[in-house]
Amino acid sequence: MADKNIPLGPLDQKPQNKKEYDEAVEQNYPYNRNVGFIHGVLHFAGLGFFWRQTILPNFVHALTGSDFLVGLTTSVGFAFTQGSQLFGSALVEHLAVKKKPLLWFGILSRIPWFFIAMAVLLLSRDIAFPVFISLYVVASSCMGLYLLVWTDLMSKVIPVKNRGSYFAIRNFLAACATALAGILAGRIIEIYLYPTGYALSFFLAFLVMSIDLFVIARTKEVPSLVVNPKVTIKEKLSSIPLYLSKDKNYKMYCIVRSYANVSRQGVPFYILAATAALELSPQEAAATAGLFTFALLLTQTVGNLIWGYYSQGRGWKAPLEAVCLLIGIVSFVVPSITTLAGFIVIVGISGLSNSGFMLPSLNILMEFGRPQHRSSYIGIANGISAVGALISPLLAGAIAQWFSYTILFYFVGINSLISFALLKFLVTDPRHVPEEEKPDFDVQAST
């Protein structure tokens, strides 16, 4: 679509060697950097209208009154976003240009939010939740495929030497936009409550994220020098053991990252714990959800700068270790909080931790393996992580529903400290692995 109007790069045809390719990427970088910044602001502003860790849990609780269904929704969001990437590389890894599938997956991940808004507004509560969760599965699955292709595209258009500063600034701007969108969403929901407030917020998410697709289509992409042969989804899935057996460090990272998903499961319950501890009314809870979103993303904004520049010369593993340690400590403090100010501080620290988990988790995958295998490395890691993303929110919801928020936070704290130890002693940062030591192999050898 956009490829007819926007040149792929300064070359009229596919570059003939790595030198030409690198020169084209460098020449396009200033333009692509600006496109990426604008896209990041719009995309994350859209996400702010249903932010998974604050707005969406409050919506599900307002709709169903169930802590377990809050956990189920969190589980669906993470699991399907990451799980769909397990086979997604089979759809795009053979393509020298990634923008076209990116746009298709982007469209399919955004349309469900229009129908979710309509369902919330027009359907009864008994029908609204199953319709919502079904559409949310579609949106999350397609968003996973979109993120897989987007990550691969970013690894092509952002030079390695610029990635730390680029993603630090991009995520800083994006988090500012998300924080403002979260405040606006909280205000809308506070005024109109369920269902109108949530329907309006979800519709705004659909609208803003649709605009960001127009922006990302402007990216200038140079065709890849080397691509893998086209394989079926079945062949791609059957090749997963080959990747894991050839790259032991990568396999260990995948396992530890999946387990570390537990570290992130306390945050969606902060708003519910605050509502119970402070005895908030529905209007107060809605306003608090917006305030928490702002606090979470404001500190996440600062965190993006800190972690991005910190990792610039050190690699992306160190921030992940620090985050698991920080979440572990904070989780043991949460049960003793009895004031709104205290909860805001905890949420703010969680925002710092969020950026230290999401930013490295994205970027570290760009450095495993060789370029022609990158989509598979990204997809397999995120797919394996989906196991933890599926189980840990369900477990968190069950603990909150049948025990207490206190037990839940202690559970998260213990597992976060274990995740820190596993990352520290069992995983090597791929940035410190020489290129010639990264495995190269024929994917079809396993089929």
pLDDT tens by residue, 259-290:
888 777 787 788 788 888 888 888 788 788 77
Dihedral sign of CA atoms 269, 272, 276, 277 in order: positive
Residue 13: predicted pLDDT: 55
- Give the residue with greater pLDDT, 117 vs 79: 117
CATH of the domain at 287: 1.20.1250.20
Q: Give the separation between CA 447 and CA 442, rounded to whole angstroms.
A: 10
Counting Cβ atoms within 10 Å, is residue 133 exposed (0-12), middle (13-18) or buried (19+)? middle
3-state secondary structure of 299: helix
- Measuring CA to CA, which residue among 221, 213, 77, 212 is closest to residue 152? 221
Q: Quote the number of domains for the chain.
A: 1
- Give the residue with greater pLDDT, 52 vs 138: 138
Angle between helices 340-364 and 160-192 (to 10 degrees): 140
Residue 313: predicted pLDDT: 66
C-alpha separations of 61 from 125, 194, 407 in Å: 12, 11, 20
Structure tokens at 346: 């905890």
State yes or no: pLDDT of 108 exceeds 80.
yes
Q: Give the separation between CA 180 and CA 174, rounded to whole angstroms.
A: 10
Q: Give the separation between CA 261 and CA 346, rounded to whole angstroms.
A: 19
Q: Give the separation between CA 384 and CA 261, rounded to whole angstroms.
A: 11
Neighbours of 124 (CB within 10 A): 8
Beta carbons within 8 Å of 4's beta carbon, 6+ residues apart = none
Mean pLDDT of 46-62: 87
3-state secondary structure of 232: coil
Q: Give the separation between CA 286 and CA 150, rounded to whole angstroms.
A: 33
Q: Give the separation between CA 106 and CA 280, rounded to whole angstroms.
A: 37
Residue 169: predicted pLDDT: 85
Q: Give the separation between CA 442 and CA 330, rounded to whole angstroms.
A: 45
Beta carbons within 8 Å of 217's beta carbon, 6+ residues apart = 1, 2, 6, 99, 103
Alpha helices in 217-247, H assignment, sequence order: 233-238, 240-246
Q: Give the separation between CA 250 and CA 380, rounded to whole angstroms.
A: 10
pLDDT band at 441 (very low <50, low <70, confident <90, very high): low
C-alpha separations of 114 from 121, 187, 336, 421, 444 in Å: 11, 20, 40, 43, 41
State yes or no: pLDDT of 76 exceeds 90.
no
Which phi-psi region, left, alpha or beta, contains residue 442 (left: φ > 0; alpha: ψ -120 to 50)? beta
- Mean pLDDT check: name the lowest of 259-263, 312-316, 420-424: 312-316
Domain around 190 = 2-446
Residue 425: predicted pLDDT: 92
State yes or no: pLDDT of 182 exceeds 50.
yes
- Give the residue with greater pLDDT, 384 vs 205: 205
State the SS3 of 363-422: HHCCCCCCHHHHHHHHHHHHHHHHHHHHHHHHHHHHHHHHCCHHHHHHHHHHHHHHHHHH
Q: What is the mean pLDDT of the chain?
A: 84
Dihedral sign of CA atoms 161, 164, 167, 169 in order: negative
Residue 312: predicted pLDDT: 67
Residue 443: predicted pLDDT: 56
- For residue range 226-263, list pLDDT tens digits in order: 777 787 878 877 888 888 888 888 999 999 988 888 77
Structure tokens at 108: 């399919």
Q: Give the separation between CA 104 and CA 145, rounded to whole angstroms.
A: 10
Mean pLDDT of 4-14: 44
pLDDT band at 4 (very low <50, low <70, confident <90, very high): very low
Between the CA atoms of 227, 232, 235 and 239, what dihedral angle is there, to the nearest 10 degrees? 40
- Mean pLDDT check: name the lowest of 111-120, 205-214, 316-325: 316-325
